[in-house]
Amino acid sequence: MNTGEAIHSMCEGYEKWGASPSFLAESKTRGFVSVSALEQFLTSIETSLEKSNHRLLPFVSGNGSTLRAFPCAPTRRWNSCEQTLIASDTKAAMCMLPFFWQIEPLLFAAARGAGAPLFMTQPDNFAVAARAIDTAGTNTIITTPSTAQAFAQDLTGHDDTHPRTWLLIRLLGETVHDMSTFASAARVTSEIHLVPGVPLLVQCEHLLMAKMDKRFHVSEEFELSLEDGRLLATVRDTELMPLFRLELPFPLKEVSTCQCGKSTMTL
Amino acid sequence: MMNLEQLRTLVQENTRASGNDFYRRLYGLESEKSHLEIASIDEWRMLPLLSKQDMIKRSFKERLFVPSRELQTISITSGTTGGPPLFQPRSYQGTPLESLCLPYPEIRGATLAGTLQFPHEHERAFAFLKRNPRVIHFDPQHIQESITLALIAGVEIIIAQTFFVSAMCEVAVKSGLAERVQLIVVAGETWTRSEFLRVRGLFKNAKILYDYGTKEAGTMAYTEVLGPEYAVVYHPMPHVYFEIFDSDTGLLVTPDTGVIGELLLTTTVGEPSAFPLLRYRSGDCIRVESVSTDGTDFTFTLLGRVDQDFIKIPGGMLRADELERVVSKLSEQISDRFEVHCFEEQTPQGLKKRIVMHIQPLTGAHLETLADTIAKQLHLGPSFTYADGVQKGLYLPLICVPLTTKDPVQKHKRILKHW
């Protein structure tokens, strides 16, 4: 697909999700959609979302000041999470992500796919989370890097058992954390999400085993293209969510090919 | 509620030699017995009770009645009196019983959920009921964000713990959500009447009802839509069996209007159940409001926790140990048995707390004089007595009435809430 065709597909995609003619005209002229333009698009379709059956996820702008609803198909699954849970032989998964991320149904489906029960707790409830590891067989924790860091320190401080696997979810624009705190854990895998539950960058088993914590693969849901120095992300299945030629607000370099066969990117 | 045949099957299935031995051990079943058979309701009533401690003593794995891969979720109940939390396994809930009591099918909007259930369980339940399955998970740590999403999602129903609804009021009103909400189902600790009226006033288009459940067992009873008289009377659902237990005497109590006791519950959560609850001590103190003509069913109000040893009132805390101290100082005039009932009363200055103390005068002591003496000696804080609060108009004067009981050996040292 050449650039002209890609821009045409982008407009078709956004139109299908209810974009206004002015948004489509602007996007066509620009040839891509910036994060702020996406935010405007989400604002403009808000009234139509009420009647739709889409799952609504919170889209938080870069500075965290505004929140928009990001729609995605109710049938959409969080496959990378399911793969992580399976690969890490998860007996029980514990979610320590903010509840307002609306991630529970996606995570529950992933956990079912891995044959593991799900336990949810507030991110700051370290006492209960520690007991869940001890007594309920929870061996995989899904959380943010900052919560993981604080919780791991708390576990060490109380001489409590650490989980076997951490799945760390970082939102677009968040800073990279030093993962050395988790050195004792057998497995630490990270994902960078465009919206909670929508991973753009993921890690495979090979990256994880090699402890290459700053290297990622592009999620199977997206394709990336580099045009005029801009990195653009487009969802492969246009039915799943409205994300076409989104300009990523961070640089991403292709550094090598992984043993799994996919390109390895670094931030 | 369940009938004898259902209870019999429940006991049979959960005491099979080939299955989990939890109840076999609890019931002291001999190893050669293939299962336990009960023939009558009297035999059912002989079965030992199940407590949270019984469950905590056995590991999570030892409590599984289904293969671990069939588990869907894990829920948690907080430990009682500082005890450890209990992690409870849950399996697939084929029929979403917790939502069958939901009235007003014409309300087609989405739901804002902050309950013991997981959001996906609500989604499944609403889909099963052919209602709008969209559910927004309420986050008490991010109220503004939750309400913003709820507005966009078209929320018209709130299902949440009472304290979550209280906490979201301000944002819900400011954002316009409160006006859109048509149905609120609340669970957990009962609101005071004044709080109920406040919430009702803010969510002026919403019908409000309660459901009763525990983290261990899910929803088991529900109320009708509440009117301004605020009578929170629960009706048991068909999949449960309730009994009443006097935790002081250790005896079962026959359900009769006015009877007070701890609720024993029998229910299976999930199909098959990851852990069936048989004659489980809920820790909830109830009062029977009405009994069906055949005596098998009853409605009830919640009076608080059995081990409730304090209650917050304006100006401080009414504590059981402080009440005991005051009562023991008056041992020449009253016995050591008492019950404290807390109400709310409408006054020209608005709703105020009314404390009624049931005591047993030993001599001809005048009840009004005793009330006055107790109020002056009863501390709600280090330097604040009950009488001080009355003087400041924080609540109504203490009333003492004679303690009446059918059981002369029954102990009475408790605080009961009536709001």
Q: Do A58 and B138 touch (CB under 8 A)?
A: no
Residue that the structure tokens 């409001």 belong to: B289
**Is any Cβ of chain A less than 8 angstroms from the Cβ of B141?**
yes
How far does A122 lie from chain B, in Å, by closest CA?
Answer: 9
The separation between CA B195 and the C-alpha centre of its own chain, rounded to angstroms, equals: 17
For residue A45, which residues of chain B lie inside 8 Å, CB to CB?
A: none
Residue B276, preceding peptide bond in cis (omega within 30° of 0) = no
Biggest CA–CA distance in chain B, Å, is 70
**Is any Cβ of chain A less than 8 angstroms from the Cβ of B84?**
yes
The beta-strand segments (E) located in B247-333 are 251-253, 260-267, 277-291, 298-305, 310-313, 316-319
pLDDT at residue number B407? 47
Residues 6 or more apart whose CB falls under 8 angstroms from that of A66 comprise A39, A60
**Is any Cβ of chain B less than 8 angstroms from the Cβ of A160?**
no
How far does B53 lie from chain A, in Å, by closest CA?
Answer: 15
Cα–Cα nearest to B414, from B328, B282, B310: B310
Smallest Cβ–Cβ distance between B85 and the set A46, A74, A128 belongs to: A128
pLDDT confidence tier of residue A179, bands split at 50, 70 and 90: low
- State the burial class of residue B10 (Cβ atoms within 10 Å of its Cβ: 0-12, 13-18, 19+): buried
For residue B134, which residues of chain A lie inside 8 Å, CB to CB?
A: 53, 55-56
pLDDT at residue number A63? 66
Q: Do A102 and B141 touch (CB under 8 A)?
A: no
3-state secondary structure of A178: coil
CB atoms inside a 10 Å sphere around CB A16:
12
Q: Do A99 and B141 touch (CB under 8 A)?
A: yes
pLDDT at residue number B81? 47
Of the residues B72, B152, B155, the best mutation for testing chain A's interface (the one with the most A CB atoms within 10 Å of its CB) is B152
Bridge-partner residues for A235, per DSSP? A222
For residue B153, which residues of chain A lie inside 8 Å, CB to CB?
A: 49-50, 56, 69
pLDDT at residue number B409? 45
Q: Do B142 and A100 touch (CB under 8 A)?
A: yes
Does this model's pTM top 0.90? My answer is no
For residue A50, which residues of chain B lie inside 8 Å, CB to CB?
A: 110, 152-154
**Is any Cβ of chain B less than 8 angstroms from the Cβ of A104?**
yes
Smallest Cβ–Cβ distance between B149 and the set A102, A104, A123 belongs to: A102
ipTM of the complex: 0.95
Residue A139 CA to residue A136 CA, distance in Å, equals 9
Q: How far is CA B208 from CA B197, B201, B245, B397, in A?
A: 11, 11, 30, 31
**Mean pLDDT over residues A225-238, rounded?**
92
For residue B119, which residues of chain A lie inside 8 Å, CB to CB?
A: 102, 104-105
| Percent of chain A clearing pLDDT 90 (strictly above) | 79
Q: Do B142 and A99 touch (CB under 8 A)?
A: yes
**Is any Cβ of chain B less than 8 angstroms from the Cβ of A86?**
no
Cα–Cα nearest to B64, from B29, B26, B14, B116: B14
pLDDT at residue number B95? 57
Of the residues A99, A142, A147, the best mutation for testing chain B's interface (the one with the most B CB atoms within 10 Å of its CB) is A99
For residue B146, which residues of chain A lie inside 8 Å, CB to CB?
A: 99-100
**Is any Cβ of chain B less than 8 angstroms from the Cβ of A53?**
yes
**Is any Cβ of chain A less than 8 angstroms from the Cβ of B416?**
no
pLDDT at residue number B416? 82
- State the burial class of residue B40 (Cβ atoms within 10 Å of its Cβ: 0-12, 13-18, 19+): exposed
Q: What is the mean pLDDT of chain A?
A: 92
pLDDT at residue number B349? 84
**Is any Cβ of chain B less than 8 angstroms from the Cβ of A137?**
yes
Q: Do B137 and A99 touch (CB under 8 A)?
A: yes
How far does B148 lie from chain A, in Å, by closest CA?
Answer: 8
Q: Do B120 and A105 touch (CB under 8 A)?
A: yes
Q: Do A100 and B139 touch (CB under 8 A)?
A: yes
Do A80 and B114 contact (CB within 8 A), yes or no?
no
Residue B162 CA to residue B183 CA, distance in Å, equals 14
Residues 6 or more apart whose CB falls under 8 angstroms from that of A179 comprise A145, A168, A188, A190, A213
Which positions of chain B have pLDDT values less than 50? Answer: 80-81, 407-409
pLDDT confidence tier of residue A238, bands split at 50, 70 and 90: very high
**Is any Cβ of chain B less than 8 angstroms from the Cβ of A134?**
no
Of the residues A104, A140, A142, the best mutation for testing chain B's interface (the one with the most B CB atoms within 10 Å of its CB) is A104
Smallest Cβ–Cβ distance between A50 and the set B74, B133, B154 belongs to: B154
Q: Do B74 and A92 touch (CB under 8 A)?
A: yes
pLDDT, tens digit (0-9, with 9 covering 90-100), for A153-168 = 999 999 999 999 999 9
**Is any Cβ of chain B less than 8 angstroms from the Cβ of A65?**
no
A253-257, strands of its sheet edge to edge: A253-257, A263-266, A215-218, A198-202, A187-195, A165-171, A140-143, A93-96, A118-120, B73-77, B86-90
Count of CA atoms in the C-beta half-sphere (13 A) of A151: 31
